[in-house]
């Protein structure tokens, strides 16, 4: 059988290479979704004294499983290496903290949570979400693998246990802390290499009658809006309702509702319960979104195979913009140093030849350099000092927040630019 690896190349070139297997159903992965070449880990920002050292690059090659249609990367890097000292602090994004506050209001009302309930969040980061439950005196526990991030949560009064989540830790947590009525996780399901161990752990931990909510970027949006830069090593899976429902069902869990939410460029929030829990009947939203995904082709390999050509076109258009801007003597800087920015910069080959610097609100990133491309990361104040002509917003999902906070760039005729879905100069 001819497998398609990349355009113009016969699969026989890769014959010596062992065939990767689907992380959910273990079928051999033969069909490429998109191959973004070699890239360093996106959260390993480089210290000044590391600039001359070697960096490790890993393939950034996404596959689609021909059996269950789970889009995924191979596991090139162990989660220990990625997550034990993570540079991402959720609370540096105002809109993400606000998202957490609104979520807390909604679930507290909908599921009648109170002082006798127990709420847990998997990958609770710096407590950006659970702080709202603490404020309502609803008992809670964060489960977070990165000790440096968990420390910040504990300091702000959010009880947090430092560990990776899976079947074994779920059993330990249930024995030590009890079983939660609400088990939440935002942007974590896509980040786990062993999705079966993770979802199996949720099944073990959830109290009878309890509710799971899981948020993840929606694969349909990724494809519709060309969000290829959300593919990075930390994201092992790219999820649809169809694929998540299959994984949950395999572990005795049922999805009973789904919300489409705007975070991260378009996400789903699915609501799960024990499969036999009659108190949570499946609502029509689940059937209608599953039908939409199927009608849009998410159960057909051809749909996935069309993606890579659009990614290449986006790269060429972005480079054309940058080349023309620099040739015309314009200055261009970046805003943000998010994971997705590093995929974009490395895949497109954008270094200080195009961006003089980038800025980030997180003091943990300031003074460091972007991995692979070595663009200096400075404090946002630098934009006002240097008055660049263009500011390229790398976390384009936060463009409203960023353009509002830095509207002053129009004082000198500066313009914001977003790279995705296609390079666009925003109106001042």
Q: Which chain residues interact with Zn ion by CB under 5 A?
A: 22, 24-25, 27, 65, 67-68, 70
Minimum CB separation of residue 17 from Zn ion in Å reads: 19
Closest-CA residue to 137 (of 161, 109, 117, 111): 117
Cβ proximity to Zn ion: between 22 and 289 the closer is: 22
| SS3 of residue 313 by DSSP | helix
Cα 210 to Cα 301: distance, rounded to the nearest angstrom: 36
Cα 333 to Cα 375: distance, rounded to the nearest angstrom: 10
DSSP 217-246: EBHHHHHHTT-GGG--TT--EEB-HHHHHH
Cβ proximity to Zn ion: between 25 and 38 the closer is: 25
Cβ proximity to Zn ion: between 25 and 77 the closer is: 25
Q: What are phi and psi of 406, to 5 degrees?
A: -120, 35
Cβ proximity to Zn ion: between 68 and 118 the closer is: 68
Structure tokens at 241: 């309702």
Closest-CA residue to 36 (of 2, 73, 77): 73
Cβ proximity to Zn ion: between 22 and 253 the closer is: 22
Minimum CB separation of residue 239 from Zn ion in Å reads: 12
Cβ proximity to Zn ion: between 39 and 72 the closer is: 72
Minimum CB separation of residue 13 from Zn ion in Å reads: 24
Cα 128 to Cα 99: distance, rounded to the nearest angstrom: 10
* Strand order across the beta sheet in which 140-144 lies: 160-162, 140-144, 119-122, 182-186, 211-217, 267-274, 253-261
Minimum CB separation of residue 25 from Zn ion in Å reads: 3
Cis upstream peptide for 306 (omega within 30°): no
Minimum CB separation of residue 65 from Zn ion in Å reads: 3
Angstrom CA distances, 78 to 39, 53, 163, 191, 341, stand at: 15, 21, 15, 11, 22
Could you give the count of Cα atoms lying within 13 Å of 363 in the half-sphere of its Cβ?
0
Cα 107 to Cα 49: distance, rounded to the nearest angstrom: 47
Q: What is the CA radius of gyration of the chain?
A: 22
Minimum CB separation of residue 23 from Zn ion in Å reads: 8
Q: What is the DSSP letter of 396?
A: G
Minimum CB separation of residue 42 from Zn ion in Å reads: 25
Minimum CB separation of residue 205 from Zn ion in Å reads: 25
Cβ proximity to Zn ion: between 36 and 64 the closer is: 64
Cβ proximity to Zn ion: between 20 and 421 the closer is: 20
Minimum CB separation of residue 166 from Zn ion in Å reads: 19
Cβ proximity to Zn ion: between 242 and 335 the closer is: 242
| SS3 of residue 41 by DSSP | coil
Q: SS3 string of 351-392?
A: CCCCCCCEECCCCCCCCCECCCCCCEEECCHHHHHHCCCEEE
Minimum CB separation of residue 286 from Zn ion in Å reads: 21
Strands 332-335 and 358-359: parallel
Cβ proximity to Zn ion: between 27 and 148 the closer is: 27
């Amino acid at each position: 059988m001819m497998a398609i690896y990349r355009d113009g190349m016969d699969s026989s070139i890769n014959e010596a290479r062992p065939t990767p297997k689907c992380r959910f159903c273990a079928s051999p992965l033969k069909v490429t979704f998109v191959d973004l070449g070699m890239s360093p880990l996106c959260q390993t920002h480089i210290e000044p004294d590391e600039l001359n050292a070697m960096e490790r690059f890993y393939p950034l090659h996404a596959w689609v499983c021909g059996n269950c249609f789970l889009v995924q990367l191979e596991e090139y890097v162990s989660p220990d290496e990625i997550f034990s000292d993570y540079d991402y602090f959720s609370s540096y994004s105002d809109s993400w903290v606000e998202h957490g506050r609104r979520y807390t209001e909604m679930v507290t009302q909908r599921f009648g949570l109170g002082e006798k309930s127990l709420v847990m969040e998997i990958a609770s980061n710096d407590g950006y979400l659970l702080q709202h439950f603490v404020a309502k005196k609803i008992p809670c526990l964060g489960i977070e693998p990165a000790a440096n991030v968990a420390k910040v949560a504990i300091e702000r009064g959010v009880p947090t246990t430092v560990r990776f989540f899976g079947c074994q830790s779920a059993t330990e947590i249930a024995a030590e802390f009890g079983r939660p009525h609400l088990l939440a996780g935002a942007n974590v399901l896509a980040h786990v290499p062993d999705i079966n161990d993770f979802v199996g752990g949720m099944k073990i931990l959830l109290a009878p009658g309890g509710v799971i909510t899981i948020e993840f970027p929606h694969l349909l949006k990724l494809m519709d809006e060309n969000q290829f830069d959300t593919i990075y090593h930390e994201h092992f899976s790219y999820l649809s309702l169809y694929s998540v429902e299959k994984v949950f069902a395999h572990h005795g869990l049922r999805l009973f509702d789904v919300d489409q939410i705007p975070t991260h460029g378009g996400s789903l929030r699915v609501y799960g319960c024990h499969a036999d829990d009659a108190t949570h009947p499946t609502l029509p939203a689940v059937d209608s979104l599953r039908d939409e995904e199927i009608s849009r082709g998410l159960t057909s390999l051809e749909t996935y195979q069309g993606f890579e050509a659009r990614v290449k076109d986006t790269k060429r258009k972005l480079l054309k913009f940058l080349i023309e801007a620099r040739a015309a003597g314009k200055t261009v800087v970046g805003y943000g140093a998010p994971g997705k920015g590093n995929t974009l910069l490395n895949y497109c080959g954008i270094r200080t030849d195009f961006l003089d610097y980038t800025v980030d609100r997180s003091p943990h990133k300031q003074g460091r350099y972007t991995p692979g491309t070595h663009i200096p990361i400075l404090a946002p104040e630098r934009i006002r000092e240097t008055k660049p002509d263009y500011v390229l917003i790398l976390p384009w999902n936060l463009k409203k927040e960023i353009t509002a906070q830095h509207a002053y760039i129009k004082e000198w005729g500066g313009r914001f630019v977003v790279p995705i879905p296609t390079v666009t100069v925003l109106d001042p």
